[in-house]
Structure 1
């Protein structure tokens, strides 16, 4: 059973990681914030049905992933996506400055260009520090599929980042 004080603690503890997770799906800070907010509202509304059997972060992450995927399937997303393609410069969306500070690395941008099925395992494995077994349970796919997607994701990133000049290496 969750009370208001407990909810505030949970929100303070998990908001940043859930926001990052949602952003990797929807690629829009405002939408990601809305999704995380809706997740906490739903969590609080269903506080009586939540049984702490496992890790709370995994439970909240699953809720955020589901809401993010629902958004990507929605008509409003397709409509916004179409408008952005028609009216943006060279078809590229500008990232919000707040996220840009956190995501200025070339690798972060390359990950965002990956298809969703290749992005998911990378995010969970490297940013959320989840094991292959945990990712398998969360995505409801076999462990071997997670390993394959991780390997292919790394290969895709390697080809994307092959021609980049790495300033860190130049200064050594």
Structure 2
């Protein structure tokens, strides 16, 4: 079966055709993801998410001649999402580690500092860094503007750093 036939059958729900279609692009998919992500675990996750999305959205593909482009575009978006998630995790982890090293804090103390933030600030920090939501998603979830999300996030980070005084102790109250 050629690519066009596999795509048509996959669009009709034929799982065998879908698997065969993916096998045609297996090497391209891996190399593309490897180019964007270096960690094998992250590559596997991005590829898996891409396969699920392609399977769920294949009916949305209008021009079957553009399947490969469409597939790689989805993969590129998944890789970028993964990189964004990793940067956020790395930023917060680096911040926590820096404070821990410089001030002798344990991670649990940093998390306790988060508890000292107001609910509005704590929500945006948790949603952005721990739940990996975008400004837009947080905006919709909390029913506030994206600008408000950005300013609350910025203020929350400022307040978090002020909770830790210059002598390296947690300020209570």
TM-score scaled by structure 2?
A: 0.42
Structure of greater Rg: 2
* Larger helix percent: 2
Q: Which protein has greater RCO, CA pairs closer than 8 Å, 6+ apart?
A: 1
TM-score scaled by structure 1?
A: 0.42
